[in-house]
Structure 1
Amino acid sequence: MTDHARRLDAHYDALAREGGEPLPARLRAAFRAAGQDPDHLTLDAIAGIDQLHLGGRGASRALARRGELVPGRRVLDVGCGTGGASRLLADEFGVEALGVDITPAFVAVAEWLSRATGLDDRTRFLCADAARLPLPSASVDVIWCQHALMNMPDRGAVLAEWRRLLAPGGRLLLHEVVAGDNPAPLALPVPWARSAVTSHLSSRAALEGALAEAGFRSLHLEDVTEAALAWRRKHGRREAAPREAAPREAPPEEAIGAAEANRALPGPTLIFGEDFVTMGRNLLANLADDRVRILEGVWRLA
């Protein structure tokens, strides 16, 4: 494992590294405690741990529609986390999804959740560094990446891999955190970093320039910060509410925002620990102060 991989593992699998149970065991026990069979789960039941990015499933659906995904497309989900986007794209858009993540615990959870939801025939997962993927050239139609590029220090190598892996005319679909215009340091911790060592934000201009230099032509690029800010505010209020105010029968909420609106089901605190509430508050502050912004974009391989 490289130093980069170790640092990310220390962030995303912190509870296990501090002597706790491995992430899959911790989540399986939580599902059992909620009266769920961990080997037979619905996509709604796993929503609280499914997509660890701003906007949850709604943001993924919006990006998929913007990218005009159709059945049969081969999609590489880079920085797939627990595999939520891969499963959503396979289930709702009929694609063949391969998720890749550098954190072994996330890949183990992604594989288990795909089996438990009956989507393991349309989703596969690989533990690897996005800058060096053991995949054939021109083997995918779409590169999909949500809130992951900011964890990758060698952006040039990653973009070169994306260019190598995409088939001619392939598309890149990106939903990403970038640096805002406010040069003040980030309020930390945030969901992608407990310290600056794992945060590799670029500006919008720098990202656009790097993509153009790597051979990607922009088809659509939109700043969706205001929508992300509203979403974070709404879910931050829910996270701050007393636990007993959320009934067990409430529907599960979207990943990184609502943190266990249905308190019986696993949520992000089982992944990030009690730091998650602070991470959410700091993310809100960073968005509101223009220290970070959120972009949604589609590019075509030139």
Structure 2
Amino acid sequence: MTDVTRQLDAHYDALAAGGGESLSDRLQAAFREAGLDPGRLTLDEIAGIDQLHLGGRAASRSLARLGEVRAGQRVLDVGCGTGGAARLLAEEFGCEVVGVDITAAFIAAAEWLSAATGLAGRTRFLCADAARTPLPDGSFDLVWCQHALMNMPDVPAVLAEWRRLLAPGGRVLLHEVVAGDNPEPLALPVPWARSEATSHLRPREALEASLAAAGFVPVCVRDVTEEALAWRRKHGRREAGAAPARQLPGPALIFGAEFIEMGRNLAGNLAAGKVRILEGSWGLAD
């Protein structure tokens, strides 16, 4: 296990690392408490733990539309987390998806959730370092990545792997957190980091330069910070409000009691210009 893996496990699986139940066991128990069968779930019922990025499913749908995702395309979901984007791409867009994540607890949860929602046949998951996967050359039409590069210290190595894995005519679809113009330190914790050790934010210009150096050319790139901030503020108000009678599992079961603070800090960092959010599509250079 590498230092990066240990750091990310300590962050994303902190409750289990502290001696608690595994992530999957914890979530399954929560679904039972909500009166649901954890072996038979809908995508709506798992939405609270499904996609751990700003904008939730709406952001994933927006990225898919931007990238003109089509049925039958082979997609690699990098930093897939619990597999929400992979399932959305399979169910709504007819894709065949492989999700990769370095955090073993996320992969176990992703496999269970795909089985529980009837999507195991169109999604599969692999615990691996995004810079070194055991997948064959040219095996994907799309590389999909949402809020994951900011946890990866060696982005050039990751981008080189994407280039290797993409078939001719392939594209990268990216929804990412980047450093803003405000140089003040981040308010921590945030959903991707409790300390600077696991936060590898880069300015937009540096990320785009790395993509160009790896052989990718921009097709369409948008700054969606204002939309992301509005979404975060809306969900922050909901999280701070009274709990509904039937409480479906949400991010606090993954991140712990700090999640409300993480969300509040993220909104503050966005509003202060310390971080920004990009949505974009890149193709392979000739």
| TM-score of Structure 1 vs Structure 2, range by shorter chain | over 0.9
Task: Give the whole-Å Cα distance in 2 for the aligned partners of 1:247 and 1:106.
Answer: 28
Partner of 1:280: 263
Partner of 2:41: 41
Q: Please list every run of 5 or more consecutive structure 2 residues that lacks an aligned counterpart in the other structure.
A: none
Q: Normalising by the residue count of structure 1, what TM-score does the alignment of the two structures yield?
A: 0.94
Q: Does 1:27 pair with 2:10? A: no
Partner of 1:149: 149
Partner of 1:215: 215
Q: Normalising by the residue count of structure 2, what TM-score does the alignment of the two structures yield?
A: 0.99
Q: RMSD across aligned C-alpha pairs, in angstroms?
A: 0.6
1:119-268 to structure 2, matched below 5 A, reads 119-243=119-243, 246-248=244-246, 264-268=247-251
Partner of 1:85: 85
Partner of 1:63: 63
Q: 1:247 offset after TM fit, Å?
A: 4.3
Partner of 2:75: 75
Partner of 2:253: 270
What secondary structure is seen at the aligned counterpart in 2 of 1:137?
coil
Q: 1:240 offset after TM fit, Å?
A: 1.2
Q: Percent identity?
A: 74
What secondary structure is seen at the aligned counterpart in 2 of 1:293?
strand
Partner of 1:14: 14
Partner of 2:284: 301
Task: Give the whole-Å Cα distance in 2 for the aligned partners of 1:268 and 1:173.
Answer: 24
Task: Give the whole-Å Cα distance in 2 for the aligned partners of 1:127 and 1:180.
Answer: 31
Q: Does 1:118 pair with 2:118? A: yes
Could you list the structure 1 runs, at least 4 aligned residues long, displaced by more than 4 angstroms after superposition. none
Task: Give the whole-Å Cα distance in 1 for the aligned partners of 2:44 and 2:118.
Answer: 13
Q: Does 1:289 pair with 2:266? A: no
Task: Give the whole-Å Cα distance in 2 for the aligned partners of 1:68 and 1:37.
Answer: 35
Task: Give the whole-Å Cα distance in 2 for the aligned partners of 1:238 and 1:69.
Answer: 32
1:201-222 deviation digits (Å, cap 9, x = unpaired) = 0000001111011000100000
Q: 1:126 offset after TM fit, Å?
A: 0.2
1:120-173 deviation digits (Å, cap 9, x = unpaired) = 000000000001011111110000000000000001100000000000110000
What secondary structure is seen at the aligned counterpart in 1 of 2:228?
helix
Q: Does 1:106 pair with 2:106? A: yes
1:224-257 deviation digits (Å, cap 9, x = unpaired) = 00000111111111111122xx343xxxxxxxxx
